[in-house]
Amino acid sequence: MEHWLEWARGPLFRASFAIMILGLLRVLVLQAISLFGLIRQAKRNQRKIPYAVVAKASLRWLIPVGKLFERRAVFSLTSVLFHICIIVVPILLGAHILLWERGIGLSWPAISMQLADILTLGAIVTGLALFVIRLSVMANRAISRAQDYVWPLLIVLPFLSGYLAMHPAINPFSYEASMLIHVLSANLIFLLLPFSKLSHMALFPATQLVSELGWFLKPDSAQKVMTTLHKENEAI
């Protein structure tokens, strides 16, 4: 078991983390290339891009306080808490920072163990709640794909196993077993992240800009479509 754990924490983690970073960089670079293209085109056509509107909308969604109780309040609140928990704990947990320090010599301030415990429980509860909402609300079911059900459960797994590993008194499994599940499930998330809807974590900042620029049509696009489809002489 210990060998497996070492392998999962060492080479497997490095590989999955690298794939996540490179994968996210890939989608970011692709997005940047297309966005720069669209912006250049807009400038060439002397169009004004409403950056203020875009920035305002992006900020409103980054700090969605005003959006919480506007629509689907229970779902929105659960989702926001879920996001806070799953972002804060992995990055600011003391034990994780220690690993980073050992590995690459970098460290940053940690949150207290009590807060980490609360947020971990928060991630588990809200993650399961999101799964239940998806399963029980008809509108959610109607638009859910298989991966939409799997993601909340998969994300809860490292939090649950990590919590159990840190609390031997309530842990029915051995420390090594919980830790192995913890590390393996986290690695799986890293590995799949850039190829799934979770890539929104990197693409989110520009999402409002994309929707705005989408309506900036290419001046000659309609003409070219007509030629390609051989409809030049076609009556309406």
Partner 1 sequence: MKAQAKYSYHVEAVDGQERPRRFLEAFAAILEHSNYGPVLEHYTRVSAKCSRCTASCQVYEASGDPRDIPCHRTELLLKVYRRYFTLAGQLKARLYDYYTLTDAHIDEMAEEFWRCTACRRCKLSCPMGIDHGMVAHLARWVMSEIDIVPKALLVSVREQLEGKSKNTSAIPVAAIKDTLEFLEEELEEVFPDQKIKFPVDVEGAKYVFFPAVSDYLMEADTLMGNAAMMHAIDASWTVGTQNLDGIDYGLFYSDRMWERIIKAQLAEIKRLGGQVMLIGECGHASRSAREGMQNFIAPEDRVPVVNIMELAHEKFRQGKLKLKPDVIEERTTYHDPCNIARTGWIVEQPRVLLRHICKDFVEMDSHGVNGICCGGGGGTVSIDEIHEFRMMIGGKTKAEQIRKTGAHYVVTPCANCKKQVDEIIKAHKLPTNRVGLHDLLIKAIDFS
Residues lying near partner 1 in the complex (CB under 8 A) are found at 27, 30-31, 34-35, 37-38, 41, 45-47, 53, 57, 61, 64, 67, 70-72, 75-76, 79, 137-140, 142-145, 148, 195, 197, 199-200, 203-204, 207-208, 210-211, 213-226, 228-229, 231, 235-236
Say how far apart CA 115 and CA 88 lie, in whole Å.
Answer: 10
CB of 63 to partner 1, least distance (A): 12
Identify residue 184 by its one-letter amino acid code. L
Residue closer to partner 1 (CB basis): 129 or 179: 129
Q: Which two tokens stand for residue 5?
A: 């754990």
CB of 170 to partner 1, least distance (A): 32
Residue closer to partner 1 (CB basis): 12 or 86: 86
DSSP state of 198: G
Say how far apart CA 89 and CA 199 lie, in whole Å.
Answer: 19
CB of 48 to partner 1, least distance (A): 9
CB of 159 to partner 1, least distance (A): 19
Q: Which two tokens stand for residue 80?
A: 């926001």
Neighbour tally for 222: CB within 10 Å:
9
CB of 82 to partner 1, least distance (A): 11
CB of 212 to partner 1, least distance (A): 9
Q: Left, alpha or beta for 235 (phi > 0: left; psi -120 to 50: alpha)? A: beta
Helix (H) or strand (E) holding 76: helix 73-92
Residue closer to partner 1 (CB basis): 30 or 95: 30
Residue closer to partner 1 (CB basis): 156 or 164: 156
Residue ranges of alpha helices (H) inside the chain are 2-7, 13-44, 51-62, 73-92, 94-104, 113-136, 138-143, 146-166, 175-192, 200-203, 207-214, 221-228
Q: Provide CB contacts within 8 A for 174, sequence distance 6+.
A: 1
Residue closer to partner 1 (CB basis): 106 or 229: 229
Residue closer to partner 1 (CB basis): 14 or 47: 47
Q: Which two tokens stand for residue 190?
A: 């890293």
